[in-house]
Amino acid sequence: MIQDDERLLQALAGLRPITPDIEWETRVRARCHTAVSLRASRRARALRNSFRAKLVDLAAATALCVYLAAVIIEAARLGGSF
């Protein structure tokens, strides 16, 4: 008979743990590994794509700047010739 809380808590803490079936444990672990790896590769791909997108943006912005500069220079040249 347990008459005090301390003894009861000790008994509860000392209860036999439930041992997982090894096959089940291995299967779940493998399934989770696949999910973690898949997520990591998706993340890496997204990062690569984002880097590429930034490079394309930068190239487009540079081309636009060059084009605008050329237009301004041409406009100034034509304006100076009148």
Partner 1 sequence: MEREREVALVVRLRSGDVTAFDYIYDAFNHRLLSFLTRMAKNRSVAEDLVEETWLRLVSGGQDLRADTRLGPWLFTVARNLYISHCRSRAREHSGAADLLLLWPGALPQSPFDLASMNEFEERLEAAIASLPPMYREVLLLVGVEQLRPVDAARVCGISPESLRQRLSRARGLISRFLASDDPSMEAVSKEVSHDTRR
Smallest gap from Cβ 49 to partner 1, in A, equals 16
Q: Which stretch binds partner 1 (CB under 8 A): 14-22, 55-63, 67-75?
A: 14-22
Which string of b and e fits 21-53 if b means at least 16 CB within 10 Å?
eeeeeeeeeeeeeeeeeeeeeeeeeeeeeeeee
> By CB under 8 A, is residue 29 in contact with partner 1?
yes
- CA dist., res. 30 & res. 10, Å (int): 35
Question: Cβ closer to partner 1: 44 or 71?
Answer: 44
Question: Cβ closer to partner 1: 9 or 55?
Answer: 9
Kind and range of the H or E run holding 16: none
> By CB under 8 A, is residue 82 in contact with partner 1?
no
> By CB under 8 A, is residue 78 in contact with partner 1?
no
- CA dist., res. 53 & res. 47, Å (int): 10
Question: Cβ closer to partner 1: 19 or 81?
Answer: 19
